[in-house]
Amino acid sequence: MSSIRRGRGALLSAGVALTLLAACTSETGSATTTPTSGPGSSSASGAELTRSESLTVITHDSFALSDEVKRQFESDTGMTVTYVAPGDAGSMVNQLILTKDAPLGDVVFGIDNTFAGRIVTAGVLSPYAEASLPASAEPLTAQTQDLLTPIDFGDVCVNADRTWFADRGLKVPVTLDDLADPAYRDLLVVQNPASSSPGLAFLAATVGAKGEDGYLAYWKRLADNGVKVAKGWTEAYTGDFSGSSGKGPRPLVVSYATSPAFEVDEGASESRTIALLDTCFRQVEYAGVLKGSQNEWGAQRFIDYLLTKGVQSEIPEQMYMYPVDTEVDLPRDWVRFAPLAPKPITVPPAIISAQRERWIKDWTATVLR
């Protein structure tokens, strides 16, 4: 996950605050090396690890953990941690590739399965395969699991403003095909897949549902039906969507299955919004060590920390994703308002990696004509 992006008003302020606090670069202590002895003390190649008194974490702009949890990591390791958020997950990946010869930091969180192949091919990451994954995370590991460690997951889905539809006596759409129906003209806003993680996830969903031979025809129907394209999740959800704090004009938006859990008025028995579970794409977010890191030891320790119960238990409330450790208790309201899609649309990461650029190019020519 991940940018952010997810249907949750409180996250916007947290993401903005994080961006303001983070600098694009940070001062680091002099780097040292750590002998390759003991679990997790070496890279896959057996080389000694660099080590510093400071650690720079690159994230998307929806990364959020409580100050208490962040301070605990610093206390446990003796490191000073700086969090840098260049933007949505897509923007973050672009920045990491552009700066791979002079990396912005030491460790990255928020690369998802739609961008995983690109970041791996670009040679941005260093191997780290010694993190202690819970058994429930094994199905979510990337094909190159020595480079990427799964931390959380969720479903990218179209969300609908129930109140908007009820006030107009219009049935809430259910399927992807419904979205192209003239009854829903000018009601949907999506994100540009070239710059947005949920935008790319939704594009992949349409490929998975309609096939290589049919997805562009489907997008032409959406374009003819007045779909609006926003740069990223924040612009779409808080600016164009009518069901969020932004109160925009469009009642349909690409967001997350968890978003409705954060659009429930106090004392209400139902959320103001609903996720269309037949439109969902399963997204997984990973962490990895940046090649050229001045603190490889700290980067590995940070990945380990993201998998601890303390952090995993914060992910639902702080980042609005499902933790990879399924033994962690979920917020009570998620059962009612944030269920996962029973049959999410999936596309193998290898296919996404091989076809992503062509999909985006053809999508751009079809939709942004």
Q: Of 5, 115, 89, 112, give the one whose Cα is nearest residue 356.
A: 115
**Residues 222 and 188 sit within 8 Å (Cβ to Cβ):** yes
pLDDT attached to residue 30: 44
Distance (Å, rounded) from C-alpha 36 to C-alpha 356?
38
Alpha-carbon torsion (317, 323, 292, 38), positive or negative: positive
Distance (Å, rounded) from C-alpha 83 to C-alpha 361?
32
The DSSP call for residue 244 is S
Distance (Å, rounded) from C-alpha 201 to C-alpha 211?
15
**Residues for the chain: how many in total?**
369
Sequential DSSP letters for 15-38 = HHHHHHH--SS---PPPEEE-S-S
Q: Of 173, 184, 108, give the one whose Cα is nearest residue 147.
A: 108
Where on the phi/psi map is residue 271: left (φ > 0), alpha (ψ -120 to 50), or beta?
beta
Question: Which residue stretches of 122-196 are H helix?
Answer: 162-168, 176-179
The DSSP call for residue 345 is B
Residue 251 three-state SS: coil
Distance (Å, rounded) from C-alpha 184 to C-alpha 172?
9
Helix (H) or strand (E) holding 156: strand 149-161
Helix (H) or strand (E) holding 304: helix 296-306
Distance (Å, rounded) from C-alpha 172 to C-alpha 150?
34
Query: Which pTM was predicted?
Result: 0.78
Residue by residue, pLDDT tens for the chain (369 residues) are: 433 334 333 333 333 333 333 333 333 344 555 444 333 444 544 569 999 999 999 999 889 999 999 999 999 999 999 999 988 788 899 999 999 999 999 999 999 888 888 899 899 999 998 778 888 887 788 767 799 999 999 999 999 999 999 999 999 999 999 999 999 999 999 999 988 889 999 999 999 999 999 999 999 999 999 999 999 888 999 999 999 877 899 999 999 999 999 898 887 888 999 999 999 999 999 999 999 999 999 999 999 999 999 999 999 989 889 999 999 999 888 888 999 999 999 898 889 989 999 999 999 999 997
Burial class (CB in 10 A: 0-12, 13-18, 19+), 122: middle
pLDDT attached to residue 46: 53
pLDDT attached to residue 335: 83
Alpha-carbon torsion (147, 149, 155, 161), positive or negative: negative
pLDDT attached to residue 247: 86
